[in-house]
Amino acid sequence: MSFQIWFAYMLACWVISVSPGAGAIASMSSGLNYGFRRGYWNVVGLQLALIVQIIIVAAGVGVLFATTPLAFLVVKWFGVLYLLYLAYLQWTAPTQSIDIETDQTQKSIPKLIFHGFLVNMSNPKAIVFLLAVLPQFLDLNKPQWIQYVIMAATMITIDLVVMAGYTGLAAKVLRLLKSPKQQKYMNRTFAVLFSCAAALLSLVHQ
């Protein structure tokens, strides 16, 4: 992979990562509820799912999602239901007058990682998208696995930076939420965002 091709791919990664989606919403939600240090573990889960998705694409299994309607639909509707479940949890989240620091240990680190993993992994559009984008930057005259490793490292590094921004922004907002009424409005805002993400995912076609 030449520097010019990598640079074009890197720019594409920034655009893809910064574009708001379920991962960004999940990152902001985690930052809001648990602060940056704990909430950022959600981002680790997002990246683990991204690694799995890139491996799937590299192995050629992504063709299944692109060509088999049933496989695509099963994963898509699982993703829709999971996002709606997250919306329900956010809408009904309890509020209290807080000392912010005491609220950051409600969910364990493994659960936060698994939550992020599910958010990314339950979106078949991600696999189909990667299947459509990654091969465009491959040099077929050179070993492909090395190029996939470079592309995966580039995309994950950029996404870690961008999601840190989303998580940190929400964590800062968290410190301003002093009353239960303010927390309620914020929780319901995220519930609506998760619902919108679910609605958009339901409209995705192969």
Write out the residue range of the structural domain in which residue 108 sits.
Answer: 23-202
Find out whether 83 and 194 touch, Cβ atoms under 8 Å.
yes
pLDDT of residue 94: 67
Joined together, the tokens standing for residue 90 give 């956010």
pLDDT, the chain, mean: 77
- Asked if residue 202 has pLDDT above 90, the reply is no
Within-domain flag for 128: yes
Q: Give the residue ranges of DSSP H helices in 69-179.
A: 69-91, 109-121, 124-133, 144-174
The neighbour count for residue 102, using CB atoms within 10 Å, is: 9
pLDDT-based confidence at residue 41 (cuts at 50, 70, 90):
very high
Within-domain flag for 18: no
pLDDT-based confidence at residue 20 (cuts at 50, 70, 90):
low
Within-domain flag for 194: yes
pLDDT-based confidence at residue 17 (cuts at 50, 70, 90):
confident
Within-domain flag for 69: yes
Within-domain flag for 3: no
pLDDT of residue 157: 93
Within-domain flag for 106: yes
Identify the burial level of 163 via C-beta atoms within 10 angstroms of its C-beta, where 0-12 means exposed, 13-18 middle and 19 or more buried. buried
- Asked if residue 193 has pLDDT above 70, the reply is yes
Find out whether 94 and 180 touch, Cβ atoms under 8 Å.
no
Within-domain flag for 11: no
State the average pLDDT over residues 63-84. 71
CA 4 remoteness from chain centre: 28
Number of domains the chain is built from = 1
Within-domain flag for 94: yes
